[in-house]
């Protein structure tokens, strides 16, 4: 249900352009895996090095996943912090697009175990696209490219995970490319996507 009391909208103003989270997981899992493994494969080709070496830096039993040395724990902790930063960057992008701090809502979609940042006010599509793009760019793509340039395995896995985690954002960007002009859109509160706001709608003061 849309937060109409916050955004000043009513259901007649909105056209749903979202995809259910479970459908995203079911239909785009292969895209997520591709996004996740792309940079490690390129890394291995460029550096002629096994990117899995982070997991067994000092372990005598090489490449066994249950060894779980300290580097793995640190990487997992770094990724958890990265997830928080990811959502914070969405919120920052929403505010650059005109949303106020009070308009931003954070939470977790329990069914998908997916954290989210949600703008409860409409934004122009280009501003919304920037907010959607920002985390995948800053925490995923750029760190992964730096990892390839520097030969940094730690940065490689962090960037690859964050890039793969942006599959829902990539879907939203694809949906936005199908809109003409620069319409108002409202971030969907529980699904991957947004509402297209009726042309001529004037936001409530």
pTM of the complete model: 0.84
Q: Which residues contact 145 (CB under 8 A, 6 or more apart)?
A: 159
Q: How many CB atoms lie within 10 A of CB 70?
A: 9
Least confident segment among 16-30, 44-58, 75-89 = 44-58
pLDDT tens digits for range 25-69: 887 888 888 888 899 999 989 988 888 776 444 434 344 444 555
Q: What is the crossing angle of helices 29-47 and 167-177, to 10°?
A: 110
Token pair 């990724």 is at which residue?
79
3-state DSSP helix/strand/coil % of the chain, to nearest 5: 60, 15, 30
Give just the sign of the alpha carbon dihedral 76, 148, 130, 183.
negative
Give the start-to-end residue ranges of the domains of the chain. Answer: 14-50+67-197
**Strand-strand pairing, 104-109 and 194-197:** unpaired
**Residues in the chain, overall count:** 205
Residue 199 is encoded by which pair of tokens?
Answer: 């042309």
Model confidence at 7, pLDDT cuts 50, 70, 90, reads: low
If we measure between CA atoms, which residue out of 151, 162, 17 comes closest to residue 76? 162
- Write down the pLDDT at residue 12: 80
């Amino acid at each position: 249900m849309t937060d109409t009391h916050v955004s000043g909208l009513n259901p007649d103003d909105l056209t749903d352009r979202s995809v259910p989270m479970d459908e995203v997981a079911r239909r785009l899992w292969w895209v997520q895996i591709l996004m996740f493994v792309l940079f490690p494969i390129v890394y291995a080709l460029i550096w002629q090095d096994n990117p899995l070496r982070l997991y067994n830096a000092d372990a005598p039993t090489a490449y066994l996943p249950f060894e779980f040395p300290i580097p793995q724990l640190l990487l997992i902790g770094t990724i958890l912090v990265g997830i928080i930063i990811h959502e914070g960057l969405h919120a920052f992008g929403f505010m650059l697009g005109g949303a106020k701090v009070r308009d931003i809502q954070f939470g977790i979609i329990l069914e998908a175990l997916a954290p989210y940042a949600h703008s409860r006010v409409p934004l122009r599509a280009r501003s919304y696209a920037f907010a959607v793009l920002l985390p995948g760019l800053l925490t995923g793509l750029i760190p992964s490219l730096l990892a390839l340039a520097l030969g940094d395995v730690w940065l490689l896995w962090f960037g690859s995970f964050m890039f793969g985690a942006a599959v829902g954002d990539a879907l939203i960007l694809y949906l936005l490319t199908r809109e003409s002009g620069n319409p108002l859109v409202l971030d969907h509160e529980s699904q991957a996507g947004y509402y297209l706001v009726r042309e001529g709608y004037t936001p409530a003061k």
